[in-house]
Amino acid sequence: MPVLLELVRELAAYEREPDAVEATEQLLAAALFGPSPVASCSVALAEDGGVAGFALWYVTFSTWKGRPGMWLEDLFVRPAARGSGLGTALLQELARVCVDRGYPRFEWWVLDWNAPAIGFYRSLGAVPQDEWTTFRVDGDALQALAGQ
User: pTM (2 decimals)?
Assistant: 0.91
List the one residue out of 147, 148, 106, 96 whose CA is nearest residue 127.
106
Reply yes or no on whether 103 is catalytic. no
- What are the pLDDT digits (tens) for 31-75? 999 999 999 999 999 989 999 999 999 999 999 999 999 999 999
- Neighbouring residues of 3: CB distance < 8 A, sequence distance ≥ 6: 50, 51
Please give the pLDDT value at position 1: 72
From the candidates 14, 58, 103, 121, which is the catalytic residue? 121
Between strands 40-45 and 67-77, the pairing is: unpaired
Q: How far apart are CA 137 and CA 47, in angstroms?
A: 41
What are the chain's domains? 2-145 (3.40.630.30)
